[in-house]
Structure 1
């Protein structure tokens, strides 16, 4: 167990907790990769991903990964999203608070996203001169509709749990005090059901809803890498770290 990822396993269930609460569980490339490795190597029936403290995750840690190269985070995220969507384990995201950037992508890549009633989804990529990634350009329109995905991507609007549920983005929205009991009940119900049948059902549905996942990830990566070389990304990131409005020129 590493300090920024808590891994608990019992009875075929893996609970993975992003544990950087002082940073709102901001994600480094290394942390994302380790979550992916836990999913692919664990042989679990059910995987629950959540965040410690008051956030699910605020997205990529721009302060940490700026030096390492944001492309590393993108590669790690693609590995995680693929593991979540194509693997055998049924994945629940327990969205206990804000899920922003790649955090929103991870939340929506789950088979069963469950949000606290006071949580929200946010695609803030355009605020720093980037485009959405983590397959959310496909998962969002596949479940919540093309136009709503466009609004979220272009305006970086917060999407609350009630709207997310009403538009089909998530499987459930639950009062914060009831979130643990609700997720635990679903975990118990899933573990009691036939493992292989559930895995094949999950994979068939995901293949039908997301028939070109590899192509989606490739298209996002190509677009994102072009944007990362542009002046607007440098200015957007600098403005974010300096807590000021960006001055875009592209």
Structure 2
């Protein structure tokens, strides 16, 4: 995928946003036509969501307008989610006889709980950016004019941090959402060993002892 390729090419963070006035309206009903909606998900949207989840580098999503359907799921797949104040999330599937997809059910249930995901999925109403932040779905809400700069600031900050550790943190959090305490403790110990072998850890310790700012290389 392009996400994995970016990491292979040396990228240390990804910024994902929409083009134009909206983030993403989700799947096209015309494109589905007489086919099976699930086929389009398996071919297009599910691989994107899985690639985001498996990314070895952090992802910032900037919601620049409406994020509906599968588009809402992709927006919420970011590690840091920055939303323009006028933007909103929308799961309108039930309004046309379908169900949430592209991971929206899992992402919202894990972040905001059963009541919120059922409210969004059953009623099919817009969830404004500020309400999404209050529900724990969005990291930061800013004015539309400040969106790109705010999202880019997060991306630059993450890109300057120890990439190996950040990738392991992403894996730990994902595993913790469905794992037990015992499984989490074991994974933390395993990941701490891997992080401790990184060049960035050596640089972090050296910088601390020398009382200077670390210069992480992402290795």
Equivalent in the alignment of 1:237: none
The aligned counterpart of 1:20 is none
Q: CA deviation at 1:121?
A: 0.1
Q: How does 1:29-178 map to 2 (within 5 A)?
A: 37-43=1-7, 44-67=11-34, 69-75=36-42, 76-178=44-146
Deviates more, 1:190-199 or 1:67-76: 67-76
- C-alpha distance in structure 2 between counterparts of 1:106 and 1:74, whole Å: 12
Report the CA distance between 1:86 and its aligned residue: 1.9
1:73 positional shift: 2.0
Q: Deviations 1:64-89 (Å, cap 9, x if unpaired)?
A: 23256433321121111111112212
Match runs of 1:161-240 below 5 Å:
161-210=129-178
- Computed over aligned residues only, the root mean square deviation of the Cα atoms, in angstroms, reads 1.4
SS in 2 for 1:126: helix
Higher relative contact order (CA 8 A, sep 6+): 2
Q: Distance in 2 between matches of 1:112 and 1:199?
A: 14
Number of corresponding residues: 175
Q: Deviations over 1:102-148 (max 9, x none)?
A: 00011111111111110000001111111101111111011112101
Structure with the larger strand share: 1
Task: Give the conservation status (yes or no) of the 8 Å contact 1:138–1:210.
Answer: no
Q: Describe the superposition over 1:150-190 as per-residue Cα deviations: whole angstroms up to 9, x where unpaired.
A: 00000001000100111101111111011111011111111
**Which 5+ residue runs of structure 2 have no aligned equivalent?**
180-219
Distance 1:128 1:106 in 2: 20
Alpha-carbon contact 1:102-1:134 (below 8 Å) kept: yes
TM-score (norm 1): 0.67
CA distance in 2, matches of 1:173, 1:66: 36
Provide the TM-score with structure 2 as the length reference. Answer: 0.76
The structure that has the greater radius of gyration is 2
